[in-house]
């Protein structure tokens, strides 16, 4: 998981959008972006706009699912855009249901696309 501020930019583009694009180019298995309801990253300021309005600077989590060695290689390629991010690596068993319940770890990586 890569946790980044919604306002973080790289060349005027949201950092989370750049990460998703690069993950797709790298052929990683699955990527999802989750927007927080409230919170802050490090020293960034929480920007609440009142009870009925959504905050405009909340954490965004980029979740990427693939084999550990592929994830580590990908994370190393993000040098320069992840300096204000929090990155965690977790190991889990993952299964792709709807695809004959196949184990995602055994999927042929050449077939991602």
Distance CA 9, CA 101 (A): 38
Output the CA torsion sign for 68, 18, 25, 80. Answer: negative
What are the structural domains of the chain? 2-111 (3.30.70.120)
Residue 112: the pLDDT is 41
Residue with tokens 């306002």: 7
**pTM summary value:** 0.77
**Predicted pLDDT at 110:** 41
Predicted confidence at residue 105, as pLDDT, reads 54
In this predicted structure, what is the pLDDT of residue 109?
45
Q: In the prediction, which pLDDT does 96 show?
A: 75
Residue 38: the pLDDT is 83
Per-residue pLDDT of the chain (113 residues; tens, 9 = 90+): 999 999 899 989 999 999 999 999 999 999 999 999 888 777 666 555 555 556 668 899 999 999 999 999 999 999 888 888 899 999 888 777 776 555 555 544 444 43
Q: What pLDDT was estimated at residue 108?
A: 47
Question: What is the token pair recorded at 90?
Answer: 């977790």
- CB hemisphere CA count around 28 (13 angstroms): 26
Q: Distance between CA atoms of 49 and 92, rounded to whole angstroms?
A: 37
């Amino acid at each position: 998981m890569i946790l980044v501020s919604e306002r973080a930019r790289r060349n005027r583009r949201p950092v989370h959008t750049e990460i998703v694009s690069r993950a797709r180019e790298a052929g990683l298995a699955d990527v999802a972006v989750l927007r927080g309801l409230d919170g802050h990253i490090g020293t960034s300021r929480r920007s609440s706009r009142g009870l009925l309005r959504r905050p405009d600077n909340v954490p965004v989590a980029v979740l990427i699912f693939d084999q550990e060695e592929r994830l580590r290689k990908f994370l190393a390629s993000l040098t320069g855009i992840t300096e204000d991010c929090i990155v965690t690596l977790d190991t889990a068993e993952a299964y792709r249901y709807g695809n004959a319940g196949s184990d995602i770890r055994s999927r042929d990586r050449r077939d991602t696309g």
